[in-house]
Structure 1
Amino acid sequence: MIRPKRKFWSSNFLFIGIAGTVLVALIPIFIEPYLNSKKYNEIQKKTRANIIQEDVQPGNMRVWSDPFGRKKDDDE
Structure 2
Amino acid sequence: MSEDSLKQVAAAISAKRTSLTSEEAKELAVRAVRFKKERGRTPSLDAQDAWERRMAEGATAFMRFKKEGRYD
TM-score, scaled to structure 1: 0.27
Higher helix share: 2
TM-score, scaled to structure 2: 0.28
For the pair shown, the structure with the greater C-alpha radius of gyration is 1
